[in-house]
Amino acid sequence: MQLHKIVQRDLTETETKTIQHFQYYYDSKKCFALIGDYVVAVLSDDNSGSLEKLSQEALDNMSQVLNTPPDFTTYVMDDMFGLVTMHYGIHAVSSNPLSKEEISSDKVEIATALTIRSLCLNACESANIIAIIDEEL
């Protein structure tokens, strides 16, 4: 997997950790764009190798999420973090490990889920691509 920074600065520790989370979750097999501190947009492997196409896809996906009811699904991941998935491949991981109760019940509490979902919506509204992770770039 190759990392292509879009921003003209070093990545923050949080951004690097988010990339590592999603590389782990995807077993380093998917293209994705880092669009927020804890948020990524999953990108089509068909566009792999084209930074321009991947960037445009990420921007299109962010725009589409903002024009769709904000439905989401939650998951308790095996690394003890929560994951929220939204339409158009927008995903966010919780900023901290889940509570013992959430882990033991295998359910993300609604307050936690809504907090993570708001990270997705805020990142889509900002429409900034921080980095693109792609096997072929």
DSSP secondary structure string, 3-72? EEE-SSSPPPHHHHHHHHHHHHHTTT-SEEEEEETTEEEEE-GGGTT-HHHHHHHHHHHHHHHHTS---E
106/57 Cα distance (integer angstroms): 32
Instruction: Indicate if the pLDDT at residue 115 is higher than 60.
Output: yes
Per residue in 24-73, pLDDT tens?
Answer: 998 877 899 999 999 999 999 898 889 999 999 999 999 999 999 879 99
User: How far is C-alpha 98 from the geometric centre of its chain's CA atoms?
Assistant: 17
At 102 the pLDDT is: 96
At 136 the pLDDT is: 66
Q: Write down how long the chain is.
A: 137
Residues 134, 49: contact at Cβ < 8 Å? Answer: yes
At 135 the pLDDT is: 74
For the residues 112-128, what does the mean pLDDT come to?
96
For the residues 116-136, what does the mean pLDDT come to?
94
**How many other C-beta atoms are found inside a 10 Å radius of the C-beta of residue 45?**
13
pLDDT tier, 86 (very low <50, low <70, confident <90, very high otherwise)? very high
At 126 the pLDDT is: 96
At 29 the pLDDT is: 74
Q: What's the pTM?
A: 0.93
Q: Is 69 exposed, middle or buried (0-12, 13-18, 19+ CB in 10 A)?
A: exposed
Instruction: Indicate if the pLDDT at residue 11 is higher than 60.
Output: yes
Q: What is the mean pLDDT of the chain?
A: 94
